[in-house]
Amino acid sequence: MLKTRVLTALLLLTVLLPSLFLLPQWAWALLIAVAAGIAGWEWGGFVALRSPGRYALGVLVFCACAGLLLAFPAAFGAAETSVSSARLLPVYGMSAVFWLLLVPVWLSRKFRMTSLVSGALVAMVTIVPTWAAIVQLRLLGPWTLLAILAGVWIADIGAYFFGRLFGRHKLAINISPGKTWEGAIGGGILVMAYGLVIRQYFSMDTLPVWGWITLLAVLTAFSVVGDLFESMLKRSVGLKDSSQILPGHGGVLDRIDSLTSTLPLSALIWLLLWNARY
């Protein structure tokens, strides 16, 4: 299993890293839209859809991403025309409302999606803003996008190791039995330490230190919620992984579960605090 995981990870890096640094913005947007379409196909499994419905959902998600790109190419950096990036604020705002208001209730009530319509609506509000954020945040530079992604990865890695070493109190035993409060707090501490270094490196001193730490704590909490949300959806239909398309790693959704909640919020914060064009 370890060998399979390593080979798959190396293959992904071989494709994604050159694409991140070398592709023009429109091509990057389409590449990520394909990944979003695959995630949409996997999402159909959470609704227990059969093959035609799952493929339809995947195509629908891809078309939604492509439609946004065609509607606002300049906002994604795919056209020369100067236009406000803030045109995507409603997309990220919708995502923030979903994660902040609806998902906590969903987790407590353990709702189930039972139809293509409900599955499609939740997939749209979950996957499409994530696609938009990955594409738009690349405008800050490939290294900046990697730094943002690394913050989420550090939260996951820190939670795993702190949970293994010190975990005693379960975070959500009925949703994800392996997660603990100690792991979540440990991951948050690592993210804050990493974020303070990044703040200095990228000269992001618009916010005072206390504001920056608060922001990092919120993003870390959102990453945990995103992870728990997908775990609950998989558990509700008896799935271990969203698919087997990435041998040793599960599916695309298994790799981006924390990103679906944190990246749109990161893009929203960037537009509100650091983007002077709107």
Q: Is 277 helix (H, G, I), strand (E, B) or coil?
A: coil
**pTM of structure:** 0.92
Written as tens digits, the pLDDT of the chain (278 aa) is 556 767 777 888 888 899 999 999 999 999 999 999 999 999 998 887 888 889 999 999 999 999 999 999 988 988 766 556 778 899 999 999 999 999 999 888 888 787 778 888 999 999 999 999 999 999 989 999 999 999 998 998 888 888 888 888 898 888 888 889 999 999 999 999 998 888 877 767 777 888 888 989 999 999 999 999 998 998 888 888 888 888 777 899 998 989 999 999 999 988 887 764 43
| Pairwise CA distance, residues 198 & 185, whole Å | 20
Q: Would you list the domain boundaries of the chain?
A: 2-273
Q: What are the backbone dihedrals phi and psi of residue 179, each rounded to the nearest 5 degrees, phi first?
A: -85, 140
Q: Which positions ≥6 away from 203 have C-beta within 8 Å?
A: none
Residue 13 identity (one-letter amino acid): L
Residue 232 identity (one-letter amino acid): M
